[in-house]
Copies of this chain bind each other. A is one copy, B any other.
Amino acid sequence: MSTTTLTPVFAALADDTRWAILQELGSAELSASALADRLPVTRQAITKHLAVLAECGLVESYRAGREVRHRAVGSRLTETARALEAIGTEWDRRLAAIRRIAEAP
């Protein structure tokens, strides 16, 4: 996963309301209206957030009768986490190498 694909995910995760939505959808599959009942924002706001989250694969949706249920996609988060960890490790590795050279006798 490149940095280019990473940024939109972080942009999605940078909002408190979206985290609140994800927290709900990580415990149960809910419709936009059901989410609006549990959170202090409008259903339309929720719908917009769900679009952002779906765009980068953090939520999946399906119709159930006349309502649309949504759920959090944990694997997408795990995938992102692995990419992050790799980058962090790489930073430390490279900077440690530079320090080693600088302190060489």
What is the 8 Å Cβ interface bit string for chain A, positions 15-32, against chain B (1 contact, 0 not)? 110010011011111000
* Interface residue from B85, B94, B98 paired with A78 (Cβ < 8 Å): B85
Interface residues in A1-18 (C-beta closer than 8 Å to B): 3, 6-7, 10-11, 13-16
Closest partner residue, chain B, to A71 (CB atom): B95
Residues of chain B contacted by A41 (CB below 8 angstroms): none
Closest to A11 in B: B14
* CB pairs A–B below 8 angstroms (13 shown): A10-B10, A10-B14, A13-B14, A14-B14, A71-B95, A72-B91, A72-B95, A74-B89, A74-B90, A77-B84, A77-B85, A77-B87, A77-B91
